[in-house]
């Protein structure tokens, strides 16, 4: 599926957004993409997209002099978004999007989708019981 941000992928109820270039068009006047530098690669995330059991920690790194801003709801970060200052604890399913900003440029977004599950108990349990009876057709003596 294509969107104004690029390619999207739905995985287990979590929508993953692949990095793309935003273009202004009808209905997008209120949304403005940061100007991306041709040589500015996005931040590197220590944890790949996937399904995990229990909370996870994600570390982001970027080039020298870059400030990383991120969101956990899949929206594109701006210079006013949460500043990265250390590992991000992901306790529930989230779409992490991060951009490395310099004073004059912004990188392409890095997008990672995390589906966090808890150790699940089974929905149903079955008990198997057996009661063995032995009998014989011969009369007892």
CA distances from 83 to 35, 60, 86, 89, 131 (A): 18, 11, 9, 14, 66
Length of the chain: 141
Q: What is the pLDDT of residues 8-56, one digit of tens each?
A: 444 444 454 444 433 333 333 333 444 444 345 899 999 999 999 999 9
Q: What is the pLDDT of residues 72-127, one digit of tens each?
A: 999 999 999 999 999 999 999 999 999 999 999 999 999 999 999 877 666 677 77
pLDDT score of 121: 66
Cβ atoms 62, 100 nearer than 8 A = yes
Radius of gyration of the chain (CA): 26
Burial environment of residue 17 by CB neighbours within 10 A (0 to 12, 13 to 18, 19 or more): buried
For residue 71, the 8-state DSSP code is E
> Could you tell me the pTM of the whole model?
0.60
């Amino acid at each position: 599926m294509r969107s104004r941000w690029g390619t999207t992928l739905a995985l287990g109820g979590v929508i993953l957004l692949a990095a793309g270039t935003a273009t202004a068009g009808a209905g997008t006047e209120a949304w403005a993409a940061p100007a991306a530098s041709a040589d500015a690669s996005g931040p590197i995330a220590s944890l790949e997209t996937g399904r995990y059991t229990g909370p996870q920690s994600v570390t982001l790194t970027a080039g020298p002099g870059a400030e990383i801003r991120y969101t956990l709801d899949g929206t594109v970060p701006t210079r006013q978004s949460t500043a990265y200052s250390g590992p991000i604890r992901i306790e529930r399913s989230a779409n992490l999007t991060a951009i490395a900003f310099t004073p004059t440029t912004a990188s392409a977004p890095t997008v990672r989708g995390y589906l966090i599950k808890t150790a699940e108990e089974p929905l149903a349990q079955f008990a198997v019981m057996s009661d063995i009876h032995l009998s014989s057709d011969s009369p007892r003596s």
